[in-house]
Amino acid sequence: MPVVVDPDPMIVESLLASMPAGAHGVESIDRLSAWLGSHSEEYVVLLGPTLTDEDSVLTCEALRTTHPAISTILVRETLDGELLAAAMRAGARDVVHVSDTTTLAVALNRALELYVALRGPSGGLHVSKVIAVFSPKGGVGKTTLSVNLALALTEKGARRVCLVDLDLAFGDVAITMQLFPTHSIEQAIGSEDSLDIEMLDGLLTRHQDSLMVLAAPPHPDTRERVTPLLVSKIIRTLRETFDYVVIDTAPAFDEQVLTALDETDEVVLVTTLDVPTLKNVKVAVETFDALHIARDNRHLVLNRADDEVGINADKVEGILGMSVDAQIVSSLEIAAATNAGSPVIVADPEHQMSQAVKQLASALAGEMIGHLGADAPAPQSEPESRGRRLKRSRK
């Protein structure tokens, strides 16, 4: 994904707004070097206008030899022939004006095309999508939605879908689906440096041919032993083989959840129509904004959206400042299906919740790589964390 380098956080935030989901920012060349040392999948580096021309050209020259598959793009406030000549000699792919978002989009698309071409047919870029289902408050139906969404995605032509239960203390995905896993995330503890897809595949539990589940640990005290690094490694490893990775998160901003949100492409935010929950969701949205989490890739779901409670969708949109993507009304059939271990999308495909979740899945299952143009979103590939790394260091 694109990496933006500039010491000015405001400039980084402005550039990230034009980047594909998963782009991130660092504040110095030193931080860039450290980042690239542990992230081999990056394909383009944007050198911001606050960096000096000399530092930018020297960085292009260094990356040309140390990371030949990475394209460098200089973003400048003023373009002149001397700088253009020096940048091209140093190996820069493009030099664009800071306000020219159309040219920047085209340059990013060219960088991705080059990266894919360099990977070649045998090592072609596998593009997957990570979807985190989150609510800051428990009991709002987050797990029920996660399970039904994962099952709905299997109907969208995806070859493989994996549902990860990241509520490490009290995860209910397995029991909701009447699964009895012999392995869970617990067996991956300590394997941060050795985890691969073969090992991880042995920890998954099959629900259907196209849906696999990574269960939460059976005991709450295991949570503290699951490191943020392990969470990141698990998600990135699952990306290598699954088309969609759906993460049922814990209702908290702990380090494990923050790490998962760093890795995600899309966030599905779940709320009910009561004032305490809406207050907490409002704080969550503000936190997402501050940490640059899925800025343009958030989806709001209203659960138990009954008119009788006195708060409607329009009022929720006004409170949260985001549109409602799906509404699910209260229904005894949903609870009955959950208690029977047969998610409602399987038990009753025509149910109102089933239809709402299928529509949400259709929105999430849109084209994952598209042509970059003036009015088109940037391509998506393997995501990394965004500008939040300017503000918070990873443990």
**pLDDT for the residue 187:** 94
What is the pLDDT averaged over residues 265-285?
92
CA distance 245 to 238: 7
What is the pLDDT averaged over residues 111-130?
67
pLDDT surpassing 70 at residue 257: yes
Cα dihedral 35, 41, 43, 48 in deg (nearest 10): -20
Domains, the chain = 2-119 (3.40.50.2300), 129-365 (3.40.50.300)
Per DSSP, what are the bridge partners of residue 206? 212
Alpha helices (H) in 264-367, listed in sequence order: 275-291, 313-320, 332-339, 344-347, 352-364
pLDDT band at 127 (very low <50, low <70, confident <90, very high): low
pLDDT surpassing 50 at residue 394: no
- How many other C-beta atoms are found inside a 10 Å radius of the C-beta of residue 29? 18
What is the pLDDT averaged over residues 375-380?
36
**C-beta pairs of 197-202 under 8 Å, 24+ apart in sequence:** 197/237, 197/238, 197/240, 197/241, 200/234, 200/237, 200/238, 201/241
Q: Give pLDDT tens digits for 15-37.
A: 888 777 667 888 889 888 887 87
Q: What percent of the chain lies above the pLDDT cut of 90?
A: 42
How would you class 212 by CB atoms within 10 Å of its CB: exposed for 0-12, middle for 13-18, buried for 19 or more?
buried
Answer whether 387's CB lies under 8 Å from 13's CB: yes
CA distance 186 to 206: 17
**pLDDT for the residue 307:** 64
**Number of residues written out for the chain:** 395
What is the pLDDT averaged over residues 342-371?
81
Answer whether 126's CB lies under 8 Å from 245's CB: no
What is the pLDDT averaged over residues 291-312?
83
CA distance 68 to 60: 10
- CA dihedral for 197, 198, 204, 208, sign (positive or negative): positive
pLDDT band at 373 (very low <50, low <70, confident <90, very high): very low
What is the pLDDT averaged over residues 309-329?
86
pLDDT band at 129 (very low <50, low <70, confident <90, very high): confident
CA distance 321 to 291: 17
Q: Which of 112-126, 246-260, 336-350 has the lowest mean pLDDT?
A: 112-126
pLDDT band at 379 (very low <50, low <70, confident <90, very high): very low
pLDDT surpassing 50 at residue 389: no
CA distance 116 to 125: 6
Answer whether 217's CB lies under 8 Å from 186's CB: yes
Answer whether 27's CB lies under 8 Å from 6's CB: yes
CA distance 176 to 127: 29
What is the pLDDT averaged over residues 271-288?
92
What is the pLDDT averaged over residues 251-276?
92
In 3D space, the residue among 313, 215, 218, 237 whose CA is nearest the CA of residue 273 turns out to be 313
Q: Which of 103-117, 321-335, 344-358 has the lowest mean pLDDT?
A: 103-117
pLDDT surpassing 80 at residue 369: no
Helices then strands, counting H and E runs in the chain, come out as 15, 13
Q: For residues 295 and 179, which has the higher predicted lDDT (pLDDT)?
A: 179
- 């698309």: which residue's tokens? 109
Alpha helices (H) in the chain, listed in sequence order: 9-16, 29-38, 53-66, 81-90, 101-119, 142-154, 173-176, 197-201, 228-239, 255-263, 275-291, 313-320, 332-339, 344-347, 352-364
pLDDT band at 292 (very low <50, low <70, confident <90, very high): confident
What is the pLDDT averaged over residues 82-110?
88
CA distance 59 to 61: 5
Cα 133 to Cα 148, 194, 198, 247: the distances in Å are 11, 28, 26, 6
**pLDDT for the residue 393:** 36
**pLDDT for the residue 66:** 81
What is the pLDDT averaged over residues 213-217?
95
pLDDT surpassing 70 at residue 84: yes
Q: Give pLDDT tens digits for 131-169.
A: 999 999 999 999 999 999 999 998 765 568 999 999 999
- CA dihedral for 315, 318, 320, 326, sign (positive or negative): positive
What is the pLDDT averaged over residues 59-64?
87
**pLDDT for the residue 228:** 92
What is the pLDDT averaged over residues 167-195?
92
